[in-house]
Structure 1
Amino acid sequence: HIERQDPESRLEMREQCERICQVARTLDCPSLQVVALNGLRGEPWPEIRSKVGQSLAELADIAAPFGVKLA
């Protein structure tokens, strides 16, 4: 859930990303699709875009050492 905002959930998101990237590397899968759900529904679009963008950047930094790109 890329839209997670509380610290505990964000830590879980990062850990999950690392595990998934390890599997992707093992499977020789060069990219993963990231989907934002409706966890930020009702918030203004610029705020949603900013939060999702920050999360994507953070997850991309985790994925890069595994040779995995996020789509």
Structure 2
Amino acid sequence: MARSQEAAMDDAERPGSDEQLWSVFEFVRRYRLAKREENRLLMLYGPTASFRDLLANAQRHSLIS
């Protein structure tokens, strides 16, 4: 593989400048998610994750059924 292809692959694997890392705790507080959902996100990602991943995987459980 050529060096330019290796560099391109490395750049693709790195989080881009547009990909913000958020504290899971801050995300849960801002979006008023349940403690159960906070624990689930912490198990998935640890204390920080990309904003895009958090939005894609967060689940809001209805209090009214």
TM-score (norm 1): 0.24
TM-score (norm 2): 0.26
Compare CA radii of gyration and give the structure with the larger one.
Answer: 2
Which structure is higher in RCO with an 8 Å CA cutoff and minimum separation 6? Answer: 1
